[in-house]
Amino acid sequence: MASSDPATIKKTLQHHFGAYLGDDVLQECIQLCKMYNVTGEDLFFTYESLVYGRGGARQVTPDNVAEIKQKLQRDLEKQKRQLAKSNRPMLPMRNLNGLMKSGGNADLLNRLGASSKIKVESPSIGIPSAGESSRPIYRNSSVQFTRLDAQRSSEQPQKYRYMYEKISERSEVLDDRIEDIAQILKNHYGIADFGDPAASTEEDVVVVGRITMDSESASAESAKLNEASLTLESSRMMGSGVRVPLKFDPDVRIRQAVRGTGGLGLFPGAIVALRGKNGGGGWFNATEILSLPPLPPRERPGPSKSEGGFNMHAACGPFTTDSDLQFKPWRAVVQKINADQPDVVLLLGPFLDCNHPSLKYGDIDAPLPVIFQQTFIEPLRDYLDSKPGALVLIVPSVRDLLNDHAVFPQAEFGSSLFNDPRIVLLPNPCRFAVNDVSFAVTSVDVLFHLRKEEFVKRATEVESIGPEGEEIAVDPMANLCRHILQKRSFYPLFPTPTDLAHEVNLDITHSDFLKIPEQPDVLIMPSRLRQFTKVGD
């Protein structure tokens, strides 16, 4: 139900409309929300749909309010007619994306409590309530599962409206990313002020910006970053958003890098801090690279009885070959799970891959939800029945046909597919903890994208981090993982490589869902690159 509290409605309206909503029409809009049982957000979306063809949002007038009212009335009448045909009770009119999950999972957990020793610690198995993101939402005698995604709350659900980006919002998010990293560097190195890379100076300055490719190289097909095509883009606040050609001094140094890295990996979208100057030659000459500080460690809760060891199996799709839909690899995974009896099973999509020839052309004998239920859910339920207290975690892929949120960051699967509290649906990417061991997971092949776009600039190490006297070989794969942690993002590239854009469908305006604010204990990322496990930093 939409809130009927005028203060809440007013706050929501002012948040979405901003300066477009004057005091003269504010009360009328509040009355419309109460009369038609819609939220302030839904009212805003209705308004934008009306003015979209007239050049976009502008100051709301009494005539606009009358149009909104007519639109809401038409929608209400249409809903009445549709529900009368189906002979179903009418639901309150509001945007489907705003509907929260019901407490049915919690009720089911309570009913299972006596037999499987499961204790409910939060209202549901879905998105935790605001301010409760670090509370356990699943616990039994051996496994305690906790969501660590602070953004995933009832006030900011993971499922958002996509294909709805505005250029102004995209640019603000990109600027904010630079300024957030600049603040981290400022605190770490004690920098007083940052300079503008486009401004000529006599003294060396420290600048922060995004690595980009010059326009001539970027327009070419299969263009790859190299030292000749490097440019540095500052934020509008620190340098008017200008792109400046970037050159490195022959004796360039890198400060506080991990010992043995031997330089810095650069790729489009990487945020870097450089010391140097623009001597008036039309480019910024960098003499020193300032490495980003490591992620802060996660704040650990107090001692708990559930901090013991546990077994986890992880597997990623696609779970069948392109030649058939027999799912033989998946059946091998099921056999392994049944044999080893792990406490936690982590599965990453795609489950029903949109690129599979049979699925792409509809050469199937049953509806997709039925195939998903019979192939994946039923074997998992059989396993969970045989292993009381076990837990299954499911993360989707942008290639999953059954997930209607085909962008990255991506919402979890809809709860309408099945209803089992022992199977937890997670967004892509996600962060969680099991028995106080923290995980960061995504199903996007970001390692391959980084490997394809990376250009490594060699530099002399200064004040390196790591044990002294040890010869550490340069490890390209570990460095790829380090990019994700140092840049504090599940997808630090921008823009997405042209030939790989269909694998990501990146939504820049919701980049907050991609942030990694603290150091995970385990980072899990499927890739077409050769599999590996490494202990890093």
pLDDT tens for each residue of 221-246: 667 898 999 999 999 888 888 899 99
- Mean pLDDT is lowest, of 2-6, 433-437, 438-442, for 2-6
- How far is 47 from 58, CA to CA, in rounded Å? 10
Q: What is the pLDDT of residue 85?
A: 52
Count other Cβ atoms within 10 Å, centred on residue 214: 16
pLDDT digits (tens, 9 = 90+) for 11-24: 888 888 887 788 88
Phi, psi values for residue 457, rounded to 5°:
-100, 115
Q: Cα torsion at 90, 94, 100, 103 (round to 10°)?
A: -20
Give yes or no for residue 119 having a pLDDT over 60. no
What are the angstrom distances between the C-alpha of 385 and each of 108, 205, 330, 418?
15, 63, 19, 16
Q: What is the pLDDT of residue 115?
A: 28
Give yes or no for residue 452 having a pLDDT over 90. yes
Give yes or no for residue 175 having a pLDDT over 90. yes
- The residues, ordered by sequence, that sit 6+ positions from 433 with a Cβ below 8 Å of its Cβ are 144, 145, 146, 148, 439
β-pair partners for 231:
212, 245
Tell me the two tokens of residue 274.
């450089």
CB 424 within 8 A of CB 384: no
* Residue environment code for 66-77, b if the CB has 16+ CB neighbours within 10 A, otherwise e: eebbebbeeebe
Q: What is the pLDDT of residue 472?
A: 62
CB 2 within 8 A of CB 92: yes
Q: Sign (positive/negative) of CA torsion 71, 17, 1, 29?
A: negative
- Mean pLDDT is lowest, of 221-235, 297-311, 331-345, 506-520, for 297-311
- How far is 427 from 410, CA to CA, in rounded Å? 6
- Single-letter amino acid code for the residue at 214: D
User: Which band of pLDDT confidence, cut at 50, 70 and 90, is reported for residue 448?
Assistant: very high
- Single-letter amino acid code for the residue at 404: D
Give yes or no for residue 139 having a pLDDT over 80. no
- The residues, ordered by sequence, that sit 6+ positions from 33 with a Cβ below 8 Å of its Cβ are 2, 9, 13, 39, 40, 43
Q: What is the pLDDT of residue 295?
A: 93
User: Which band of pLDDT confidence, cut at 50, 70 and 90, is reported for residue 492?
Assistant: very high
Give yes or no for residue 513 having a pLDDT over 50. yes
pLDDT digits (tens, 9 = 90+) for 321-330: 999 999 999 9
Query: How many residues can be counted in the chain?
Result: 537
pLDDT digits (tens, 9 = 90+) for 382-399: 999 999 999 999 999 999
Q: What is the pLDDT of residue 302?
A: 60
Q: What is the pLDDT of residue 470?
A: 60
- How far is 434 from 137, CA to CA, in rounded Å? 11
Q: Which residue has the tokens 């209607």?
A: 404
- The residues, ordered by sequence, that sit 6+ positions from 477 with a Cβ below 8 Å of its Cβ are 447, 529, 532, 534
Percent of the chain predicted with pLDDT > 70:
81
Most distant pair of Cα atoms in the chain: their distance = 79
User: Which band of pLDDT confidence, cut at 50, 70 and 90, is reported for residue 216?
Assistant: confident
Answer with the residue of higher pLDDT: 46 or 93.
46
- Mean pLDDT is lowest, of 77-81, 121-125, 492-496, for 121-125
Mean pLDDT calculated for residue range 17-36: 85
pLDDT digits (tens, 9 = 90+) for 348-385: 999 999 999 999 988 998 999 999 999 999 999 999 99
- What average pLDDT does the structure give for the chain? 82
User: Which band of pLDDT confidence, cut at 50, 70 and 90, is reported for residue 106?
Assistant: very low
CA-nearest of 447, 461, 349, 448 to 398 is 349
- The residues, ordered by sequence, that sit 6+ positions from 137 with a Cβ below 8 Å of its Cβ are 121, 122, 124, 125, 128, 145, 146, 147, 424
- How far is 227 from 283, CA to CA, in rounded Å? 13
Q: What is the pLDDT of residue 82?
A: 67
Q: What is the pLDDT of residue 78?
A: 75
- How far is 301 from 284, CA to CA, in rounded Å? 46
Mean pLDDT calculated for residue range 148-177: 74
